[in-house]
Amino acid sequence: MASTLLDVADLACRRGGRPVFDRLSFALGAGELLALTGRNGSGKTTLLRALALLVRPEAGIIRWQGANVADDAETWRGRLAWLGHLDGLKGDLTVGENLLGAERLRGRPAADDRLDHALAGLDLTALAHRPVRTLSAGQRRRTALARVMLTAAPLWLLDEPLNALDAPAQQAFRTVLQRHLDQGGLAIAATHADLGVPGARRFELTA
């Protein structure tokens, strides 16, 4: 395995007062994908939210390059790109405005070439000036994925990234994901589908 960047040790979380998982540990290096599998309710989304510091783990530690991420949550969140079940888009803004607005919120406005690259990667160039409220579910999901791509964050946390995507869009995303990994990025994805990444690691939650 590549030199460890992300180290998760003995993580435990509860939901609604009941344990979801306990003493969960794994490590990832540059270029690695961890596919989280398991039945609905097994804790895949909870784990992603804990890694993003959106929920507080009951126990355990998350380290990035040896440092506890909870000691500097703002810096840690800057290293993440998050994709949840909901696309998190503003319906009255265009595709391009949504992407640029998200980058401004991250404090790093996107240059035109980076925006164009993200739009092209998810086949959104022709939709760049369309209000999101006029898009199909698949087009909105591609926009949310383009937002992830645009961040250039080293770690992608993805909750069912292939939801609502047709076959060509799924292949476009797989190409984008593989490029991210080839460039040394990491990804953790909750998924019921094959993400098409050779050598991807699989972690099944059984709660």
Residue 1 has pLDDT above 60, yes or no: no
- Both tokens of residue 55? 């929920």
Q: Please say whether the beta carbons of 151 and 106 come within 8 A.
A: yes
DSSP state of 130: S
Residue 207 has pLDDT above 80, yes or no: no
Question: What percent of the chain has pLDDT above 70?
Answer: 97
Residues contacting residue 116 through CB under 8 Å, at least 6 positions apart: 125
DSSP state of 105: H
Band the pLDDT of 107: cuts 50, 70, 90: confident
Residue 77 has pLDDT above 60, yes or no: yes
Beta-carbon neighbour count of residue 72 at 10 Å? 12
pLDDT in tens, 123-175: 999 999 999 999 999 999 999 999 999 999 999 999 999 999 999 999 999 99
Q: What's the pTM value of the predicted model, to 2 decimals? A: 0.95
Amino acid at 143: T
CA-based radius of gyration for the chain: 17
3-class SS of residue 66: coil
Mean pLDDT of the 10-27 span = 91
Q: φ and ψ at 16, to 5 degrees?
A: 60, 30
pLDDT at residue 178, as a whole number: 97
Widest Cα–Cα separation across the chain: 47
